[in-house]
Amino acid sequence: MNSITISTDADGIATLMIDVPDQSMNVIGPDFIADLDAAITRIASDDAIKGAVIASGKDSGFMAGMDLKYFGSMLATSDGSRPQPSAIFDQVFVLNQLFRRLETCGKPIACAIEGTCVGGGFELALACHRRIVGDSPKTRLGLPEILIGLFPGGGGSQRLPRLIGVQAALMYMLQGKLFRPAEAAMLKAVDQVVPQGTALETAREWVKANPNAASQPWDVKGFKFPGGAGGFNPAFVQTMVGALPMTLKQTQRNMNAPIALLSAVYEGAILPFDRAIRVESKYFARVAADPQAGNMIRSLFVNKQAAERGARRPKDQPKAPTMKLAMLGAGMMGAGIATVAAQAGMEVILFDRDIAYAQKGKAHVESVLSKRLGKGMTPEKLAATLARVTPTATYADLAGADFVIEAVFEDVAIKAEVTKQVEAVLGPDVIFGSNTSTLPITKLAGAWSKPENFIGVHFFSPVEKMPLVEIILGKQTGPAAIAKALDFVAQIKKTPIVVNDSRGFYTSRCFGTYVQEGAELVAEGINPALIENAGKQLGMPVGPLAVSDEVSIELGYKVMTAAKKELGDAYVAQRSDDVMTQMVELDRLGRKNAKGWYDYPENGKKALWPGIADLFPRAEDQPDVEAVKERLLYRQLVECARCFEEGVLETPEDGDIGAIFGWGFAPYTGGPFAHMDTVGIAHVVAVLDRLAATHGDRFAPTAQLREMASTGGTFYRPAPSRAAA
Amino acid sequence: MEAYIYDAVRTPRGRGKPDGSLHEITPIQLATQTLEAIRDRNAIDTADVDDVILGCVTPVGEQGADIARTAVLNADYAQTTPGVQVNRFCASGLEAVNIAAAKVMSGEALFAIGGGVESMSRVPMASDGGAIAMDPAVAYKTYFAPQGIGADVIATKFGISRDDADAYAVESQKRAKMAWDEGRFAKSIVPVRDVIGQIVLDHDEHMRPDATMQSLGALKPSFTALGEEMPGFDTVALLRYPELERVNHIHHAGNSSGIVDGAAAVLVGGKDIGDKYGLKPRARIRAMASIGSEPLIMLTGPEFVAGKLLSRARMTAADIDLWELNEAFASVVLRYMQAMKLDHDQINVNGGAIAMGHPLGATGAMVLGTALDELERSGKGTALINLCVGAGMGTGIIIERI
């Protein structure tokens, strides 16, 4: 036994101190399961033990969920094939039975929670007879499994509804929402909140004072769910009938975990507890056997964290945190970057060519931060953060900055001029980052004497909210610049991807194809409502026409015109170019002038512009929604594959994280590359060939895809089911 | 063997609320009184009634445990007469008649009674639960949404406006008033009596003959919140009908069927058994049919039922003199009129459930009786009677006056 230490005091109260070795946070793995099993046997059989308290021996918190490596091993099969639900059930039900043994061992068990207690950790707590939480503003409890494509499968989906009622339990579990301690106590998810650091002592006292409190409420005859349950309880029926559409609003029909969770709660509600957890484990096994959860865990969790911890950072470079940032351009983007930098504790010189603009930028910082007052922001903190931002219109004020980010007008000549002015003050050894979203980094780097110190740092708007930063390497960008940029991203707690230079880089280029395919569909006379619904059904946050309005049709038009001008004869014209041109000529620019694909009435909801049908007469034969979804999806997939083949992307990890967090690519897939691996490259190629034959070369699969299809290759190596092992 | 309709009775419809006249009358009493009327009006020996089939949509509580056999016993029918309760949702009452007719046609029954009962004021709609709405796996698979959402989807998909629906509703009220004023329902109505024998209701009390476009215009749509906000069934509707930008919510209490209490019964038999009692058959049953269709839009079944009925009867729409479709929602009838190319003059000539109410389990037998009375009154020959049904079904019948 190396993850749990048992000590018994003079009163016969055993303390189970959990400290899983080699882990910063307690997680549930095979050793812990074996240790808890042994501990329960001892508590039950040792007459000297009157009851027990479970606590954490780590300062990092009580316990998180299952060790993802262990979870992966459950999904592994000897031949790399997809796992069978029955095989997964046998493994996951072990934990469920173990927690069940804990709560039926015949002696009172209390749980002393200090710090984070989520997932399997919270499920362990729910299997105790009393939950006592040390109060701290940072402590969170609950069942967030749904966020990684799973649902609580260690009895949580059965115990929480029995404790706090079906409706409240579903509300938290379906959204993966966590409880603050007081909130948990109010809902009765925990029994007692005590001052921080006193949970263990309180728990011991409770066990001592309650030697007979060894039954869960659901094991007492006559137990009823708070608020009721079962098909003849109107409140329960209403909750169940309503929970599905509410879930579909969030997930369309793309996520299997929330549906399985609903079924587990619904079916479990009229079962005795031992049968209920068995049904829960069966649904859990079904969800776990689907590649969806594995894909989501890999991209949204494992790889995202790895990126944030510097997966792409050159290892030999010394730490290079930014102390003083020279922020050039105080518009929306510049002010946004200034905000997050100042919040991270950096000094920010906010430069614009006119001091009034610079001051306006600082006012933006203030307004953004003021909105967070009361939500973790105090007036003192606000004042201190603002004091770190210095607006200026004088280049000389940039002196002393150790990192530069430029977010001035998107024009090569203007950017070059600014770049040179900055170099005159700071010298070429400082790292210079450009927040351009479209202009080639290699070209812009020409204005800095040491192009190895020039790098692209592409932020997304609004900067305060968007989680991704796309780092773009010019041809000559060196390791010091990469390290500096990645350290900066880490300081502002965002997620980086690293890509190579290309028109539109990775995210803008691939996101653009979603919008363009929407325009192609419109041009063919496809019902715009069908196009929009298809986009949403695909799992994109909004339809292609709606997002086109949001970023503005005019912007797309400008990017297209610039590319045409620069590429000359090499430019490949698309039908969507004409569509954008027509719209711009009609002054239908997007949401910015309240006229785009949609009309935006002042006192009402936006509605698709009826004039679309005049411009692009409705085709007599309308496609099936699946056909529209397929085009919107595969147009993006093929562009992602091109980025991979061309070397814009060096890893599928960057591609998947960038897609999900950059342009909202259907998160349930784990990203475009995970999706292609999952459906099979041969299938992808077959679909692309078919689409290319009907709709044009923009769908033509890459040579690399064909090669992979013929050799059984995948983007991730080894294949997902093995990777999980 | 041919099956004939010998008689049809119904109770008046009471407002399905605590202040409704029939609220104090138990559903078993409603069913009992209609069975008594069938027996007594026709002076038949109930030993010749080989089955009683009653529709009931919420067969729980006092409507549970086979209310048909319970009513048979309670009405002092021969104890040899069995009874069975059926549930085809809103068409249960007609389905019961169709089953009765099938039993006669097959030779299983001499007489059979089909009918239905629903006390919506005493046994609330949907209080029986049911997997189709409540079981998440089933509701997911079938794209469940309540029927009001389906009715609004029909309106949106087929271009039926709020004004169209309100105008239809105003006319339904006018026709029902006119029909009552002229005594057109007199042949079928069996007033309901209380425990001391007093008549508690002798007319349909849900009617609002003074309804106007203006008064209906003031009513708020009933399914906007359910569709757009909590819990948001429009999402489900658009998943199924992605060609729609949004759902246009046009239905409200004034252009949808009313919640009421009531019961009905129809006596069906072969030629010989009628002759035995000297009864003259009132109508011959030409065809019966039920169908299933897409369950979310739910209520477009009638056009498919009509097609199936006409083809089974080797008839065309032109052969039908009178059309009757239960007025579950205005859009249901308006869509049916579009699909079958009918004028309002040809259908629901004496109003319908928007004016008089829709006692779920009983309505099917009621609209059949209404059509039969109208054929006799107007001297017309054939009628096609039809109801839209939950979960995308439809049930109908063609009768021919003799």
Question: What pLDDT, on a 0 to 100 scale, did the predictor assign at position A518?
Answer: 97
Task: Identify the pLDDT of residue A722.
Answer: 38
Residues of B in contact with A625 (CB under 8 A): 242-243
Q: Is residue A552 part of a domain?
A: yes
Instruction: Give, for B384, the enclosing helix (H) or strand (E).
Output: strand B382-389
Structure tokens at B226: 């359910």
**Do residues A512 and A497 both lie within one domain?**
no
Please determine, for residue A69, whether its predicted confidence score (pLDDT) is greater than 90. Answer: no
B376: closest CA among B281, B256, B257, B269? B281
Per-residue pLDDT, A718? 61
Q: Is the pLDDT of residue B94 over 50?
A: yes
pLDDT of residue B355: 97
What per-residue confidence (pLDDT) applies to A573? 87
pLDDT at A699 over 90: yes
The reply to whether B135 touches chain A by the CB within 8 Å rule is yes
When pLDDT is averaged across residues A81-88 and rounded to a whole number, the result is 89
- Asked whether residue A187 is assigned to any structural domain, the reply reads yes
Partners of residue A458 on adjacent β-strands:
A470
Query: pLDDT value at position A721?
Result: 44
| Domain count of the fold of chain B | 1
Sign of the torsion angle spanned by Cα atoms B309, B315, B316, B318: negative
**Shortest CB distance from A237 goes to which of B60, B129, B145?**
B129
Instruction: Tell whether B36 is covered by a domain.
Output: yes
Residue A532 falls within a domain, yes or no? yes
Q: CB contact, 8 Å: B311 with chain A? A: no
Round to whole Å and give the CA distance between A637 and A640: 5
Total tally of structural domains belonging to chain A: 3
Q: Is the pLDDT of residue B289 over 50?
A: yes
- The pLDDT score that the predictor gives to residue A724 is 38
| Closest chain A residue to the Cα of B245, Cα to Cα | A529
A529 contact residues in B (CB cutoff 8 A): 242-245
Residues A481 and A340 in one domain: yes
Mean pLDDT for A244-255 is: 95
Among A231, A252, A253, whose Cβ lies nearest the Cβ of B134? A231
Q: Which residue of B has its CA nearest to A232?
A: B129
- Position A302 in a domain: no
Q: What is the mean pLDDT of residues A618-629?
A: 97
Mutate to test the interface with B, among A166, A244, A252, A598 (most CBs of B within 10 A): A244
What mean pLDDT do residues A617-638 have? 97
What confidence category does residue A720 fall into, taking pLDDT thresholds of 50, 70 and 90?
very low
Percent of all residues in chain B with a pLDDT value above 90, rounded to a whole number: 99
What pLDDT was estimated at residue A477? 97
Residue A138: inside a domain? yes
Chain A hits for B246, CB-CB cut-off 8 Å, are 607
Report how far residue A565's alpha carbon sits from residue A438's, in angstroms, rounded to the nearest whole number.
Answer: 14
Apex A621 CA angle, A617 and A622, nearest 5: 85
Judge if A631 and A674 occupy the same domain.
Answer: yes
Range of the domain at B141: 1-123+130-397
Q: Does B129 touch chain A (CB under 8 A)?
A: yes
Instruction: Indicate whether A578 and A657 sit together in one domain.
Output: yes
State the best of A166, A241, A532, A628 to mutate against chain B, taking most chain B CBs within 10 Å.
Answer: A241
Burial class (CB in 10 A: 0-12, 13-18, 19+), A512: buried
CATH of the domain at A673: 1.10.1040.50
DSSP designation for B197:
S
Using a pLDDT cut of 70, give the percent of chain A over it: 99
A638 forms beta bridges with none
Residue B191 lies in a domain: yes
Name residue A521's amino acid: L
Q: What pLDDT is attached to residue A1? A: 82
**Model confidence band, residue A719 (pLDDT cutoffs 50, 70, 90):** very low
Do A230 and A358 reside in the same domain of the chain?
Answer: no
**Position B157 in a domain:** yes
A529 and B133 within 8 Å at the Cβ level: the answer is no
Residue range A87-114: mean pLDDT, rounded = 96
Note whether A466 and A544 are same-domain residues. Answer: no
| One domain, residues A580 and A643 | yes
Cβ burial B326-362 (10 Å sphere, 16+ → b, else e): bbbbbbbbbbbbeebebeeebbbbbbbbbbbbbbbbb
Domain-ending residue, one of A435, A467, A501: A501
Instruction: Give the per-residue pLDDT at A544.
Output: 98
Q: How confident is the model at residue A725 (pLDDT cuts 50, 70, 90)?
A: very low
Whether A496 shows a pLDDT value over 60: the answer reads yes
Summary mean pLDDT of chain A: 94
In this structure, what CATH number is given to the domain that contains residue A377?
3.40.50.720
Is the Cβ of B126 closer than 8 Å to some Cβ of chain A? yes
Q: What domain range includes position A181?
A: 4-211+219-289
Averaged pLDDT for residues B253-278: 97
Q: Pairing state of beta strands B14-15 and B4-10?
A: unpaired
* Number of C-beta neighbours around residue B163 at 10 A: 12
Report which of residues B230 and B315 the model is more confident about: B315
Q: Considering CB atoms only, which of B139, B233, B238 is closest to A533?
A: B238
Q: Which residues of A sit within 8 Å Cβ distance of B?
A: 231-232, 234, 237, 240-246, 248-249, 252-253, 259, 262-263, 266, 527-530, 532-534, 537, 607-608, 622, 625
Residue B118: pLDDT band with limits 50, 70, 90: very high
The predicted structure's pLDDT at residue B263: 98
Per-residue pLDDT, averaged over A444-466, amounts to: 95
Question: pLDDT: is A117 or A70 the higher one?
Answer: A117
Query: Do residues A87 and A193 share a domain?
Result: yes
Size of interface A-B (CB pairs under 8 A): 83
Across A577-716, the runs of DSSP E, i.e. the strands, are 598-599, 607-608
* Orientation angle between helical segments A681-695 and A625-646, nearest 10 degrees: 110
Whether residue A253 is predicted with pLDDT greater than 70 in this model: the reply is yes
User: Residue A249: its chain B contacts at CB < 8 A?
Assistant: 231-232, 235
Report the CATH number at residue B311. 3.40.47.10
Give the residue among B401, B389, B397, B395 at the shortest CA–CA distance from B368: B397
Among B134, B224, B246, B296, the strongest candidate for a mutation testing the A interface, having the largest count of A CBs within 10 A, is B134
Mind telling me the catalytic residues of B? 90, 358, 388
Residue A370 belongs to a domain: yes
Give Cβ neighbours of residue B299 (< 8 Å, ≥ 6 apart): B147, B150, B151, B154, B328, B329, B331, B332, B388, B389
* Residue-level pLDDT at B129: 87
Query: What is the structure's pLDDT at A80?
Result: 74
Q: CA-to-CA distance for A1 and A689, rounded, in angstroms?
A: 57
Is B323 part of the contact surface with chain A (CB cutoff 8 Å)? no
Cα–Cα distance measured from residue B224 to residue B242, given in angstroms and rounded to the nearest whole number? 19
Chain A interface includes B145 (CB < 8 A): yes
The beta-carbon neighbor of A607 closest among B135, B239, B245 is: B245
CB B349 within 8 A of CB B254: no
ipTM of predicted complex: 0.93
Q: For residues A720 and A187, which has the higher predicted lDDT (pLDDT)?
A: A187
Shared domain check, A622 and A479: no
Predicted structure pTM score? 0.93
Q: Is residue B18, in this structure, part of any structural domain at all?
A: yes
For residue B401, give both structure tokens.
């006056």
Pairwise CB contact (< 8 Å): B243 & A237? no
CA-based nearest residue to B391, from B163, B127, B92:
B92
Whether residue A94 is found in the same domain as residue A155: yes
pLDDT at B287 over 70: yes
Taking contacts as CB-CB distances below 8 angstroms, the residues of chain B near A537 are 239, 242
Domain final position from A453, A470, A501: A501
Question: Chain A within 8 Å of B239 (Cβ-Cβ)?
Answer: yes
Instruction: Tell whether B138 lies on the interface with A, counting CB pairs under 8 A.
Output: no
Q: Looking at the domain assignment, is residue A402 inside a domain?
A: yes
> Please, are residues B368 and B362 in contact by the beta-carbon 8 Å criterion?
no
Name which of B149, B229, B245 to mutate to probe chain A: the one with the most chain A Cβ atoms within 10 A of its Cβ. B245
Residue A463 lies in a domain: yes
Q: What pLDDT sits at residue B64?
A: 96
How far is A231 from chain B, CA to nearest CA, in Å? 5
Q: Tell me: do A450 and A522 sit in the same domain.
A: no
Residue B202 near residue B125 (C-beta atoms within 8 A): no
Residue type, B3: A
Question: In this complex, which of A242, A530, A532 lies closest to B230 when CB atoms are compared?
Answer: A242
The secondary structure element, H or E, covering residue B117 is strand B111-119
**Interchain proximity B238–A241, CB inside 8 Å:** no
pLDDT of residue A118: 97
Domain co-membership, A415 together with A495: yes
**CB nearest A245 (choices: B130, B134, B235):** B235
**Residue B402 resides in a domain:** no
B200-224, pLDDT tens digit by residue?
999 999 999 999 999 999 999 999 9
Which of A481, A501, A521 represents a domain boundary (last residue)? A501
For A619, which DSSP code?
Answer: P
Residue B370, in any domain of the structure? yes
Residue A76 is predicted with a pLDDT of 79
| Amino acid A558: pLDDT | 87
What does the H/E/C string look like for A228-295? CCCCCCHHHHHHHHHHHHHHHHHHCCCCCHHHHHHHHHHHHCCCCHHHHHHHHHHHHHHHHHCHHHHH
Closest Cβ–Cβ partner in B129, B140, B245 for A529: B245
The amino acid sitting at A579 is V
Cα–Cα dist B247/A381, whole Å: 47
